[in-house]
């Protein structure tokens, strides 16, 4: 049941939101399930999440985090051990957001939401109470998606002025699967390395070097889920790793286990939720 819990929908994002929404994820258990200490990993993208069923509870570096609402902004995961637990029917809908969308739409930097789930109604620049009421009173998946997208359209009307060089840098990272040097990104941006790193970390929530590694690791998972090859080291080479030792070192750092132990372990199913969105630039 858990193995097939979540899936990415093939959904056409409205034109005005294509620079904000990368994809849509839904997950439903249909029957009550008890999950304890399920790991979560960095994907490179924040989420807008509505929990129609039981609201998951989290452990962030062994500190308990209990969301106050079923409607939340889920920030990026950075340099933290994150697990979730749940007891009941899980029914979640998530919009995968572009890395800068938190800043542009909610007028707060990604660093503010780092390793946190924040109540959307209290965080929203516009009144989110009506959205919350409509979501609570509607169980139709298609309708809930439209409600969330319409809400983001409202936020988009008050979108902050773009940081063009940062948008270009993010696009370059995604297009290169994370295999690009910071010096090249700063040079392309036309700013100093110090300024590049400072703004990137504040707006995205993590340093550019770390973010590139997150994207590189998740590209491996994307290929793992879409490729016929079962040779993990071949996929790693395809994603820019020069040797297996380098890949294993990064895998241990970001996943907390060797590739072999992870794929043979109890939590191997989460590889289905990792990976790049099919609509990523």
Contact 117, 74 (CB under 8 A): yes
Yes or no: domain 6-156 corresponds to CATH 2.60.120: yes
Give the global pTM: 0.86
Question: What integer pLDDT is reported at residue 2 of this predicted model?
Answer: 41
Average pLDDT over residues 54-72: 92
Residues of CATH 2.60.120 domain(s) within the chain? 6-156
- The token duo for 134 is 């409509």
Mean pLDDT of the chain: 86
Beta-carbon contacts of 85 under 8 Å, excluding residues fewer than 6 positions away, are 35, 36, 37, 38, 56, 57, 58, 59
Q: Which of 10, 5, 52 is nearest to 28 (CA)?
A: 5
Average pLDDT over residues 48-61: 91
User: Rounded to 10 degrees, what is the CA torsion of 104, 105, 110, 113?
Assistant: 170
40 φ/ψ angles, rounded to the nearest 5 degrees: -125, 145
Gap between the Cα atoms of 242 and 228, Å rounded: 21
Name the H helices within the chain.
101-106, 120-123, 129-136, 141-156, 164-175, 182-189, 193-204, 208-226, 232-238, 244-255, 259-264
Residues of CATH 1.10.10.60 domain(s) within the chain? 164-272
How do residues 124-148 score in pLDDT, each as one tens digit? 999 999 999 999 998 888 999 999 9
Q: For domain 164-272, give the fold.
A: Arc Repressor Mutant, subunit A (1.10.10)
Count of C-beta atoms within a 10 Å radius of residue 85: 14
Q: Per-residue confidence at 4, pLDDT binned at 50, 70, 90?
A: very low
Question: What integer pLDDT is reported at residue 278 of this predicted model?
Answer: 47
């Amino acid at each position: 049941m858990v193995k097939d819990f979540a899936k990415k929908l093939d959904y056409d994002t409205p034109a005005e939101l294509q620079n904000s929404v990368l994809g849509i994820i839904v997950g439903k258990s249909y029957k009550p399930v008890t999950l304890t200490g399920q790991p979560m990993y960095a994907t490179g993208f924040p989420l807008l999440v509505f929990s129609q069923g039981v609201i998951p509870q989290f452990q962030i570096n062994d500190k308990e985090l209990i969301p106050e609402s079923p409607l939340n902004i889920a920030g990026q995961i950075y340099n933290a051990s994150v697990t979730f637990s749940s007891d009941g029917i899980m029914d979640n809908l998530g919009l995968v957001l572009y890395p800068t969308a938190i800043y542009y739409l909610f007028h707060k930097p990604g660093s503010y939401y780092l390793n946190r789930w924040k109540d959307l109604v209290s965080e929203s620049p516009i009144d989110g109470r009506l959205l919350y009421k409509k979501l609570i009173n509607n169980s139709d998946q298609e309708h809930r998606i439209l409600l969330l997208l319409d809400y983001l359209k409202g936020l988009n009307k008050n979108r902050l002025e773009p940081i063009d060089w940062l948008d270009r840098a993010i696009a370059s990272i995604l297009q290169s699967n994370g295999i690009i040097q910071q010096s090249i990104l700063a040079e392309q941006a036309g700013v100093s390395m110090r300024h590049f790193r400072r703004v990137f970390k504040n707006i995205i929530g993590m340093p550019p070097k770390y973010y590139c590694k997150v994207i590189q690791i998740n590209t491996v998972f994307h290929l793992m889920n879409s490729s016929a090859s079962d040779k993990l080291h071949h996929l790693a080479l395809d994603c820019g790793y020069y040797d297996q030792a380098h890949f294993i070192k990064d895998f241990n750092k970001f996943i907390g286990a060797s590739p072999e132990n992870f794929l043979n372990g109890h939590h191997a199913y989460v590889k289905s939720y990792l990976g790049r969105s099919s609509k990523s630039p």
